[in-house]
Structure formats: C-alpha cells, structure tokens
Amino acid sequence: MGAIKITSWNVEHLERLLKENPTAAEQARREAVVSEIEAIDPDILCLIEGPREEESIESFANDLLGGRWKAVKAADGQYGMSGSQWIWFLVRENLAEMASLLPVETWDAFTNPSWDVHFWGEFDQVRHRHYRHPQVLVLDWHGFRVEFIGLHLKSKFVNRGESMWNAGGAERDEFIRNALKARVKMTTEAANVRQYIEAKFQQVEKPAIFVMGDLNDGPGKEYFEQLYLFFDLISNIQGDIFAANQYLNHALFDFPGHLRWTVDFKDFVDPDRPTHILLDHILFTQGLVDDSLPWRIDAQAGLVEHEIHDLINAPLNKKEKTSDHKPVSVRVVTREG
C-alpha cells in the first residue's frame, strides 16, 4: 500500500512572480510560495491562476522548485484558455512518465466546444464557450487510469461591480442584470463539465475522476440564489443525487465546519455574510470510496492547509503573502494492479 497527496491551490497571479527583476516584496512572496508548496509536499498539484506560457510554468517548476515537480504540458501545445490566468498540473518527478494532458479536442468531442445560452425569460440566445477551458491530467497508474479535471470558474463581470452596487438605482440594476448573465453562463460551463463526466460513465463502469479548482459564483451568492436563481456552481458540478453512481463526493464533507473555508472575503452585496468562504474544492467519483479500485479515499482524508499556509504567511506583510486562497488537499491510499 502507498499514498498519494493531491492538492489544489489558487496562487493569485503567479505570472507576476516570474519576471526577471522582481521587487523585494515580489521576491519575498516568490520564496514564500515555494516554501508553501515544499511544506505541503503534494504528489499532484493543480495550480489555479498559473502563468499563461509553457516557458513560464517550466521556469517555475525547474528553476524555483528545483525540478522536484514536473509541469504536465499538452502534447499538441493546445490549451484552449484565454486571459493570463491558466490552469496547470505539476506532478512529482517519479510520476512524470505516467502523466499526460487530455487533448482539448477530445474533451470537446465528448461534450461541445461551444453552446447556446438563454438568459432568464428570453428566447434570444448567445453562443458561449469556456473562458478557461478545463484542463485534464491523465495518470496511467500501472494500467489504472485516473483523471483530474482542473477548473477555474469565475464571473468575468467584476470590474466596477462594487461601485455600481453602492451607487444604487439604475447602476445597481445594471450590475444585477450583468451579474445574473455571468452566473447563467458559468452554470452552463458547469453543465459542460457534467457532460464530460457523464460521457466517461458511458465508457467505464467506475471511472476514477477528480474535479478540483476554484469555483467562484461571484459576489452576492445567497442574494442571487434567493431572489433570482435556485442553484450554484458546486451543486451543478456534484451532479444529480438521483443518479447516485455519478454523484461526486466532496473531500471536505467530513472536515470540521469551522475550518471549511479557503478565502476571507467581504461580500459587498451581502456585508452580513460570513467572510470565511469555501471557494476551492476537490471532488471525486464514488468508485474511489468503496475499495473497488486501486485507489481509495478514506474518511477524513481531505483538509484545508490552514496550518502550513498560516505559518508561512505569519511573518509576511500584505504584499509578500503567498495568496488570498488557501490550498485544499486530499490523501489517497493506493495499491498497484
């Protein structure tokens, strides 16, 4: 028997730390990020808000992490991601030969590269696609296939949001309309992820699939759910409880409730909402808990890396801190064959 540690971490604009001449604060932050990863010591690390270029993630893995973790790159160089915040997987050196990225075109063949979106009460439609295409790490564990879906689902309608909300009147109404449209679009992205998972269940009786990353509904989560919507991102990703074999377990379901958070954000839409919010998740298919597969996840295997994150960041000032997100991890028991 062995063990694998899997971690998901939003490193908050990692690209900014990889320039040639960092400021003193950026250098301190860069060293702290490296220290935090070394202390967590994952076998598989999903990086959210990573750099946008292969050369940059290679530099981070080789120059800053000393080559102990390898960046898993697309064989065809295609990632399907827009913007400057990309999703990357780093794997421990001994797993590198087992690891590859699922081609974006394979995902799109199992789902759809783009789709129609109808906003509430409207017959007109707009075409939508993933802004940050899901990245899928495929691990061939001695003939046992494990897939890790890295996600960063986040509303792109954030600029001026707080000022529009505080302005009230027509500006607030415009913010609400655009925030609702953003949430509908994100929900269709979650549905596309479920489409991929359901396709895997048509290929394998018990596929071993992890879903991890930052699932951010945006400000006013409960406000919009109570007044306008009946769902959120995590509910759509987990699936339909009546299709229980395809429902995803959450790594933190049995983690202490008062510790089940990864960011400390004040919500300008709902200022009375608790500031400790769980935005970062690791979920997995049922076959990984019933001891029928070569990998098994036991009770209390998941955790938010509060202690390591807080110890690393305690002596740092605001500009030097590693990230505004805390890492989430889960431990897996493994056996070969």
Q: Is the pLDDT of residue 121 over 90?
A: no
pTM of the predicted structure, to 2 decimals: 0.96
Q: Please tell me the predicted confidence (pLDDT) of residue 137.
A: 98
Q: Is the pLDDT of residue 65 over 80?
A: yes
Q: Please tell me the predicted confidence (pLDDT) of residue 218.
A: 87
Q: Is the pLDDT of residue 113 over 90?
A: yes
CATH number at residue 256: 3.60.10.10
Phi, psi for residue 15 in degrees, rounded to 5: -50, -35
Q: Is the pLDDT of residue 86 over 60?
A: yes
pLDDT by residue (tens digit) across 283-314? 999 999 999 999 999 999 999 999 999 999 99
- How many structural domains comprise the chain? 1
Q: Please tell me the predicted confidence (pLDDT) of residue 158.
A: 61
CA–CA dist 111, 194 (Å, integer): 9
Residue 115 confidence class, pLDDT cut points 50, 70, 90: very high
- Average per-residue pLDDT in the chain? 94
Domain that holds residue 12: 2-334
Residue 159 confidence class, pLDDT cut points 50, 70, 90: low
Q: Please tell me the predicted confidence (pLDDT) of residue 156.
A: 67
256 vs 183, higher pLDDT? 256
Q: What is the mean pLDDT of residues 6-17?
A: 95
Q: What is the mean pLDDT of residues 59-75?
A: 96
Residue 157 confidence class, pLDDT cut points 50, 70, 90: low
Q: Is the pLDDT of residue 186 over 70?
A: yes
Task: Give the residue from 217, 245, 330 showing the smallest Cα distance to 282.
Answer: 330
Percent of the chain with pLDDT over 70: 98
219 vs 75, higher pLDDT? 75
CA–CA dist 141, 57 (Å, integer): 24
Helices (H) and strands (E) in the chain, counts: 8, 17
Q: What is the mean pLDDT of residues 71-96?
A: 96
Q: Please tell me the predicted confidence (pLDDT) of residue 3.
A: 95
Q: Is the pLDDT of residue 244 over 90?
A: no
> Following DSSP, what letter does each residue of 165-232 receive, concatenated?
HHH-HHHHHHHHHHHHHHHHHHHHHHHHHHHHHHHHHTT-SS-EEEEEEEEE--S-HHHHHHHT-S--
